[in-house]
Structure 1
Amino acid sequence: MAIPDHARTNFNTLLRAAGDGNLALMECLDAVTGERRYVLCAVGRAEDGDFVMTPFGHLADGNPYDAYLPPDPDDPDGFIARSGEGAAS
């Protein structure tokens, strides 16, 4: 499964921001649930000199190994299921 161009572009932006020392972790509230989130942001400057925080995603709550299923190396369109579950697509 190929990673879409927009995701690759955002990832490269995060790498540049981290390399330049312009990456921040900002505490926010989820706009839908109101839950507290810790958001990875690239930090830039607006023309007026103000800081601009561009959010890219939030850190996983709890154990991130429980939150995500990795890709299946034997199936380019599949994901490895948790033990006891069938293959995920």
Structure 2
Amino acid sequence: MAIPDPVRTNFNTLLRAAGDGNLALMECLDAETREVRYVLCAVGREAGDYVFTPFGHLADGNPYDAYLPPDPGNPTGFLSQPETGGAS
């Protein structure tokens, strides 16, 4: 599966921010559910103020249960069951 260019650009911006030490983890409130979320943000400066650009939030609970990864045997498909493993 091809990752869309705007998503790739955002990811590269996030990598640059991390490499420059301009990455923050902020506690925010989800605008729809009103649940607390921990949001990864790039930090910039504008007119002497800090600007936080949100990129996404950390997964609640076990991330292996939250996502279905791509199927290595099917370039357009996803695995039907989450694979457990790795560090939590």
Q: TM-score, normalised by structure 2?
A: 0.91
- RMSD of aligned Cα (Å): 0.9
Write the distance in 2 (CA, Å) between the matches of 1:15 and 1:37.
21
Equivalent in the alignment of 1:76: 75
Equivalent in the alignment of 1:50: 49
Counterpart of 2:80, as a letter, is A
Equivalent in the alignment of 2:36: 36
Write the distance in 1 (CA, Å) between the matches of 2:81 and 2:73.
16
Please list every run of at least 4 consecutive aligned residues from structure 1 whose deviation after the TM superposition is greater than 2 angstroms: none
Structure 1: give runs of 5+ residues left out of the alignment: 84-89
Counterpart of 1:80, as a letter, is L
% identity of equivalent residues: 80
Equivalent in the alignment of 1:18: 18
Instruction: Tell me by how many angstroms 1:76 deviates.
Output: 0.7
Equivalent in the alignment of 1:87: none
Structure 2: give runs of 5+ residues left out of the alignment: 83-88
Instruction: Tell me by how many angstroms 1:12 deviates.
Output: 0.2
Write the distance in 2 (CA, Å) between the matches of 1:20 and 1:80.
35
Write the distance in 2 (CA, Å) between the matches of 1:55 and 1:42.
7
Write the distance in 2 (CA, Å) between the matches of 1:49 and 1:72.
47
Q: TM-score, normalised by structure 1?
A: 0.90
Instruction: Tell me by how many angstroms 1:60 deviates.
Output: 0.1
